[in-house]
Structure 1
Amino acid sequence: MLQQFFIICSGADINILKNASSSEKNKYAGIGATVFFTALMAFIASGYALYTVFDNLFTAIFFGLIWGLLIFNLDRFIVSTIKKRDSFLDEFLQALPRLILALIIAIVISKPLEMKIFEKEINQVLLEEKNAMTLENQEQIALQFSPKETELKQNIEDLKSEIDTKEAEVNALYDTYISEAEGTAGTKKLGKGPVYKEKRDKHDAALAQLQQLKTDNKAKIAAIETQLEQLQNNYQTQVNNTQPIIDGFDGLMARVNALNKLPWLPSFFIFLLFLAIETAPIFAKLISPKSEYDFKLEDQETAVKTLVQQRVEERKLALQTDFKINDKVYTDLSEEDELYQFKRKKARELMQLQADAFYKSQQKLL
């Protein structure tokens, strides 16, 4: 039963192999097994690749099954259409397009399985790329907010600087009236005279202005800090909104690109393995000698070809014979006097009718 199934997979004629030797059956069963397991690997590979795209198990299995059946049909067609010839060069030229197709199929099958085999290494490459993208994304978003943030921080520094300047002025006035009271500066008279009072009033007025300035600037600084906090919140919100895009950078193309950044030699050997599996049935038919199955198949095909050619030639001869008979028949008829008299009579009647019609048309004109 299993051998029969693999023979069907090989695309060989079951009726011819039914009476063939065991070795011939085993040969085509082996070819069919290769075709079947190649399609199975194609199903697994495409299922994994589609799972990375759709992230849904049932969708991946469904489309993976369709892809596996497609590869199975292509491989079966490739193997079944290779016929043994009397010249190896003719056989190779016949198989060359199929070898190219097998090469393409091997690449398509091997790439998703390479991604699964080197999944951990690919994840590491993707993690590094995601980290780099995260930092780059944060820098790009920061560029949108940094001018405004710098401006607000500069405004706070200006307000604080204004307070510091006013404090320095108040402290200078304080030192002035204290020195006047001590007699170390100004009038250099010890005691609290009119000059002292004047300087003290000036200091007190400046101190009141300083207190008011601190109150006003404190409110302004609080408002600016609120703007800065809102700016930081907007920055963080934009970072949080864009981060899922970076976290989702895990699709099929991203994994293929990550695989290409790994050392090429392991991937190349895996590709060679699948190429060998895919082309094995083709090379098996190319290098194997002409066997019992090939002779029987050739006998059937040439029998049909000969029968068709015979029927075509028979139709050509029948047509030529029919032409000759018709020529002879019409030649004989042309020599019969009875047929001549009959056609002469009919021609006369036709000419009389034409003359009558012409006469009537002329009468209407007159």
Structure 2
Amino acid sequence: MMQRFFIFCSGADTDILQTCSNGERNKYVGIGATVFFTAVMAFIASGYALYTVFDNIYTSIFFGLIWGLLIFNLDRYIVSTIKKRDSFKSELTQAVPRIILAIIIAVVISKPLEMKIFEKEIDQVLLEEKNAMTLSNKEQLALQYTPKIESLNQEIANLKREVVQKEVETNALYDVYISEAEGTAGTGLLGKGPVYKEKREKHDAYLAELNTLKETNATKIENLESQIAALGTDYNMAVTNSQPIIDGFDGLMARINALGKLPWFPSFFIFLLFLAIETAPIIAKLLAPKGEYDYKFEEQESVVATWVTQKVEQRKLLLSTDGALNEKIYADIKNEEELYRYKKEKAEELLRLQADSFHKVQIKGL
């Protein structure tokens, strides 16, 4: 049972192999087993790759099975279409396109398994990239909010500076009217005279303006600080909302890129391993000597080709013979006087009928 299944996998003609020796059958059993296990590896690799995309085991198994069957069919086709010839050069020529296809398949199969083998190293690379992306994201978002916050802080500073300046002027007026009362400046007279009252009133006016300015600017500052707090909240919200996107940056393409940043030699070694597996049936068939199966298969092809050639030649001969007979028959009919008179009578009868019909149509029209 197992032998028949692997022979089926090899794409060989089972009827011909039944007439061959056990050694010949075992050769194709080995080729078929290689094709089968390559498809199994393709199923596992594609299933893992698709799991990283869909994150659903049933979907991954379904599409992985389809991919494995596709690889199985391609490998079976490749092996079955390579025919043994008398010249190794001709065999290699027909195998080159199939080897190229095998290389492509090996790349496709090996990549997902490489990602699984180097999963921890890839996770480390992805972690570093996510951290860098997080910092970059915060910097980019900060560029949107920082100018506004700095502008508001500058307004707050201007308002505070305005209050401080007004305080300095008010304190200066206070010193002036106190000095006037003490007689140490101004008129130099001790006591609270008219000049003192004038300077005191000016100071009180400035003091009232200062208090009003403090209240007004305090309200403005409070409003500006509320805007700054709102901008800070918006910035934190933007960072929080964008972080899940960065955290989810571990899809198939991201892992492939991360794999490319790892040392190339281990990855290349795994690729060579899969390339050897994928090309093994082709190489085995190229290196194997022409066996009993190949001779019988070539004989069967020759029989079919000869039979088809005979049929084609027979059809050509039948066509040429039929053409010659038709020419001779019609040439003989051409010389038949009786046939001529018969066709003439029929033609005259047809013309009379046409004339009578035309005449009736004309009368109806009148």
Give TM class, smaller chain. Answer: 0.7 to 0.9
Identify the range of structure 1 (147-156 vs 197-206) with the bigger mean alpha-carbon deviation. 197-206
In structure 2, runs of 5+ residues without a counterpart are none
Hey, what does 1:102 align to over in structure 2? 102
Hey, what does 2:151 align to over in structure 1? 151
Separation (CA, whole Å) in 2 of partners of 1:42 and 1:133: 34
- Alpha-carbon spacing, 1:359–1:13, altered in 2? closer, same or farther (3 Å): closer
User: TM-score normalized by structure 2?
Assistant: 0.88
Following superposition, the deviation at residue 70 of structure 1 comes to: 0.4
Following superposition, the deviation at residue 37 of structure 1 comes to: 1.2
Hey, what does 1:264 align to over in structure 2? 264
1:104-123 alignment runs, 5 A limit:
104-123=104-123
1:337-356 alignment runs, 5 A limit:
340=336, 342-343=338-339, 345-346=341-342, 349=345
Hey, what does 2:215 align to over in structure 1? 215
Separation (CA, whole Å) in 2 of partners of 1:220 and 1:348: 120
Q: Confirm whether residue 161 of structure 1 aligns to residue 161 of structure 2.
A: yes
Identify the range of structure 1 (241-250 vs 93-102) with the bigger mean alpha-carbon deviation. 241-250
User: TM-score normalized by structure 1?
Assistant: 0.88
Hey, what does 1:184 align to over in structure 2? 184
Identify the range of structure 1 (28-37 vs 186-195) with the bigger mean alpha-carbon deviation. 186-195
- The one-letter amino acid of 1:143's match is L
- Alpha-carbon spacing, 1:351–1:62, altered in 2? closer, same or farther (3 Å): closer
Deviations 1:266-321 (A, max 9, x none): 22221111111111100110111001111121222222222232333344444455
- The one-letter amino acid of 1:342's match is E
In structure 1, runs of 5+ residues without a counterpart are none
Following superposition, the deviation at residue 175 of structure 1 comes to: 2.2
Following superposition, the deviation at residue 324 of structure 1 comes to: 5.6
Separation (CA, whole Å) in 1 of partners of 2:351 and 2:61: 89
Deviations 1:94-130 (A, max 9, x none): 1111111111111111112122222222222222222
1:15-54 alignment runs, 5 A limit:
15-54=15-54
1:289-328 alignment runs, 5 A limit:
289-322=289-322
Separation (CA, whole Å) in 1 of partners of 2:327 and 2:224: 115
Hey, what does 2:87 align to over in structure 1? 87
Quote the RMSD (CA, aligned, Å): 2.9
Partner-residue secondary structure (3-state), 1:112: helix
How many residues matched?
A: 361
- The one-letter amino acid of 1:277's match is I
Separation (CA, whole Å) in 2 of partners of 1:360 and 1:343: 26
Identify the range of structure 1 (32-41 vs 311-320) with the bigger mean alpha-carbon deviation. 311-320
Separation (CA, whole Å) in 2 of partners of 1:162 and 1:330: 124
- Alpha-carbon spacing, 1:346–1:212, altered in 2? closer, same or farther (3 Å): closer
- Alpha-carbon spacing, 1:329–1:358, altered in 2? closer, same or farther (3 Å): closer
Identity of aligned residues (%): 66
Identify the range of structure 1 (254-263 vs 189-198) with the bigger mean alpha-carbon deviation. 189-198
